Amino acid sequence: IVLHITDRDGVTHTVDAPTDMGLNLMEVVRMYELAPEGTIGVCGGMAMCASCQCYVLNEVELPEKGDDEEAMLSEAFNVKPNSRLGCQVQITESIDGLAVELAPEY
Ligand code: FES
């Protein structure tokens, strides 16, 4: 599938993300090195750090947030109504065309 990911410098990257590798959005950002090492995926994708927070920019519908994601976002900085944790967003056909912007580092 194709994803549009705007990095923390405001540059938008259109990338291919495979659906058959069990990846999540945070891992795709790391795979393409769209954020410096150590600034995203700090907790390893456990919904415990919010370093993978991103803002959904278009109408692509994502699965509902899980309880862990809700809990982490309720404590994180820079949270907006369209915030999601990248590590909790699985790469599946249904999110083809998703556009997100990485939240600021903190
Ligand atoms: Fe830590 Fe997503 S990588 S919350």
The string of pLDDT tens digits covering residues 33-50 is 999 999 999 999 999 999
Say if CB 58 and CB 106 are below 8 A apart. Answer: no
Does the C-beta of 25 come closer than 6 Å to ligand 1? no
Check residue 106 and give its pLDDT.
78
Q: Enumerate domains of the chain plus CATH numbers.
A: 2-102 (3.10.20.30)
Stated pTM of the model: 0.97
Measured from the Cα of 43, ligand 1's closest atom is: 1
Instruction: Beginning with the edge strand found earlier in the chain, give each strand of the sheet holding 99-102 in spatial order.
Output: 12-16, 2-6, 99-102, 53-56, 83-85
Does the C-beta of 91 come closer than 6 Å to ligand 1? no
Check residue 19 and give its pLDDT.
98
Check residue 3 and give its pLDDT.
98
Say if CB 89 and CB 66 are below 8 A apart. Answer: no
